[in-house]
Structure 1
Amino acid sequence: MIVIDKNNLAGIDLNLLVALDALLTERSVTRAAARIGLKQSAMSHNLSRLRALFSDELMTRSPHGMRLTPRALSLIEPLRAALDQIEALVIRNEVFNPATSERIFRLGLPDSTEALRAPTLLAHLCEVAPHVRLRLFSIDSLKVLDDLDADRLDLAIGFGTFVDGQVHHKRRLLATDSYLCMFNAERIGLQPPISLEDYVRLPHVLTSLRKGERGVVDDALEALGLHRMVALTTPRFAAVPFLVRGAPVITTMHARLARYFAALLGLSLSPPPVDLPEVTISLLWHASYDRDPAHVWLRGVVTKLFATPDQFAGPARRASA
């Protein structure tokens, strides 16, 4: 822990701490400069000043890029905490007005959630917060907590309960979902409901963000002493319906998304012939933004959006009949 004489604080440029946070996060002078809107030469100068301030190199070159020194690694947590406290002092009495704010929010979410919910969210923002901007990013459930810690995301929407998160990882349950099978009835020569025998016989399309060809369906089939053949694996949920429409295959996907694409593309739906676990959809954020008025507002908007009845349920039910 670094102890600084308060009488000497006037001689320290606190903006250097912002630069240090960017350097420790990005581990690159170029990326750190872009992160906080400085020229690379200015960030290089800041790094030189920081090295003098801490009497340590902080970052050294290695065959794999810049490497943090042990002293720099020890600074990450206390620096983040100090900046959070300073930020809290600044924004505590801040008034957020969505009608005039020009805030940029970085939202991480799966492409399936983007297809289903982002149009309504965007329409709402255009109406009540016309100058607020969204930057959407794909997320990996294994890395999303790290992205929040590194301040690469303001909010994230993910599948799962994220019970392995730490105390500063805030979570709110948005919704739950189930699964449906989706297929082109004409191409596979079957009408819903689909039997377990046909379900195992047909080739499958699997959506997975991880390596391998295994999902919740495989766990359920294994419990029955069965297995399926996965013909194609893709990380993109939104591509699956078009693959299913054009080939004699079947997929098992989240029910809300399946209903939407079934209605859009004229595909058939069927309950899975195996028991599958419930899907949990969670909103995630870092505790640093708990009291940020803008974040409080956006979290409320997203939560209300997910509480709205599924606008795609009606037409899709007709498509799956």
Structure 2
Amino acid sequence: MTIDHIDLSRVDLNLLVALDALLAERSVTRAAARIGIGQSAMSSSLARLRTLFSDELLTRAPEGMRPTPRALALAEPVRTLLRQVQALVRRDDAFDPRTVTRTFTIGLPDSAEVLIGPRLLAHLRAEAPGISLLLRSIDSIRILQELDADRVDLGIGFFTDGQTHHKQRLLYRDSYLCVFNADLLGLAPPISLDDYLRFPHVLTSLKETAHGVVDDALARLGRSRTLAVTTPRFLAVPFLVRSAPVLTTMHARLATFFAGALGLTVSPAPVDLEDVAISMLWHASYDDDPAHRWLRRTLLALVEEPTGTI
């Protein structure tokens, strides 16, 4: 398509910056604060945007401001365009992790934070001391909304959903192990299915439901287990297991880490469980961002090091 330079010159790029902020925050006040202008200036930008697109774009609602269908259709193209412009004006060879100052917001479960967080933090302090991390606990559904609203830079975890603008890269695959206090249960690995079902279990569930992959596997065998505790916090599980005659089934890397730290015993789970893929997830608009690319490459390098805990 031929560019109409005269027509395009009439469009203020700052209006698209304002539109992106308005769609992300759904509030004139918060959008103004996000880009560092006054509320009246943002209101003026919204009025100009409504004229430019011949649409209300955002309307008042009980929960705040609600985007119109036209605004929702514009959100993704505008975000992509702004990221492309940002990439154009930034020089890749000017990026130096030793001197850059930036905060990355990463959404991940506490299990991934335990395994990846310490090594990533140590690496950043040594190689990129100006980069800080804001770690947030987030589930696999909400992460998509947070990425689209630019409130999270990167997600780490097990992801099955996403759209074409949600990019994903495998970090590592993991199997499952059973974890228990051998002194309290009187068991030694490998444990049998009957022993596995003789004691109550601790389940970690981020979906607020007392059902997991183990229950699906047992159902295929016509069996079921008794749950003693269901919790959304992976970090609490090994302490629960250490203190009571219960057992749990968790990702193998995490199980091995906790067993070594707390004197617990691990055993292969006596049911067939598919390996889980732990991946990075990010918005496509960050593909060419030099710092973001550096962070992704760093994470890949850290998990591939054979001497690491992951």
Residue matched to 2:53: 54
Q: Which runs of structure 2 are paired with 1:262-301 in the superposition (5 Å)?
A: 262-301=259-298
From 161, 178, 196, the counterpart of 1:181: 178
Residue matched to 1:144: 143
Q: Amino acid of the residue matched to residue 232 of structure 2?
A: P
Deviations 1:146-189 (A, max 9, x none): 332332222221124x3x53333322221111111111222333
From 204, 207, 212, the counterpart of 1:207: 204
Q: Tell me how many residue pairs correspond in the alignment.
A: 309
Distance in 1 (CA, whole Å) between partners of 2:93 and 2:69 is: 37
Q: Which runs of structure 2 are paired with 1:143-162 in the superposition (5 Å)?
A: 143-160=142-159, 162=160
Q: Amino acid of the residue matched to residue 179 of structure 2?
A: M
Higher mean displacement: 118-127 or 187-196: 187-196
Q: Give 1:42 deviation, angstroms.
A: 4.1
Change (3 A) 1:40 1:261: farther
Q: Give 1:126 deviation, angstroms.
A: 0.5
The answer to whether the Cα contact below 8 Å between 2:79 and 2:285 also exists between their aligned partners in 1 is: no
Distance in 2 (CA, whole Å) between partners of 1:247 and 1:36 is: 52
Q: Give 1:54 deviation, angstroms.
A: 3.5
From 144, 159, 167, the counterpart of 2:164: 167
Change (3 A) 1:36 1:239: farther
Distance in 1 (CA, whole Å) between partners of 2:36 and 2:197 is: 54
Higher mean displacement: 268-277 or 32-41: 32-41
Higher mean displacement: 75-84 or 93-102: 75-84
Deviations 1:27-60 (A, max 9, x none): 1223323433444454334323433443433211
Q: Give 1:199 deviation, angstroms.
A: 1.2
Residue matched to 1:319: none
Q: Give 1:11 deviation, angstroms.
A: 5.0
Q: Amino acid of the residue matched to residue 18 of structure 2?
A: A
Residue matched to 1:307: 304
Distance in 2 (CA, whole Å) between partners of 1:301 and 1:149 is: 23
Higher mean displacement: 150-159 or 16-25: 150-159
Distance in 2 (CA, whole Å) between partners of 1:301 and 1:269 is: 30
The answer to whether the Cα contact below 8 Å between 1:92 and 1:291 also exists between their aligned partners in 2 is: no
Residue matched to 2:71: 72
From 243, 265, 282, the counterpart of 1:246: 243
Residue matched to 1:318: none
- Give the match's secondary structure for 1:153: coil
- Give me the TM-score of the superposition, normalised by structure 2: 0.90
Residue matched to 1:316: none
Q: Give 1:84 deviation, angstroms.
A: 2.8
The answer to whether the Cα contact below 8 Å between 1:181 and 1:271 also exists between their aligned partners in 2 is: yes
Q: Which runs of 5+ in 2 are unaligned?
A: none
Are positions 1:127 and 2:137 aligned together?
no
- Give the match's secondary structure for 1:151: coil
Q: Over the residues paired in the alignment, what is the CA RMSD in angstroms?
A: 2.4
- Give the match's secondary structure for 1:248: coil
Q: Give 1:128 deviation, angstroms.
A: 0.9
The answer to whether the Cα contact below 8 Å between 2:100 and 2:130 also exists between their aligned partners in 1 is: yes
Q: Which runs of 5+ in 1 are unaligned?
A: 314-321
Q: Give 1:26 deviation, angstroms.
A: 2.2
Q: Amino acid of the residue matched to residue 128 of structure 1?
A: E
Q: Amino acid of the residue matched to residue 252 of structure 1?
A: T
Residue matched to 1:83: 82
Distance in 2 (CA, whole Å) between partners of 1:309 and 1:81 is: 37
Distance in 2 (CA, whole Å) between partners of 1:108 and 1:69 is: 28
- Give me the TM-score of the superposition, normalised by structure 1: 0.87
Taking only the aligned residue pairs, the percentage that are identical comes to 64
Q: Give 1:312 deviation, angstroms.
A: 4.2
Distance in 1 (CA, whole Å) between partners of 2:220 and 2:209 is: 19
- Give the match's secondary structure for 1:253: strand
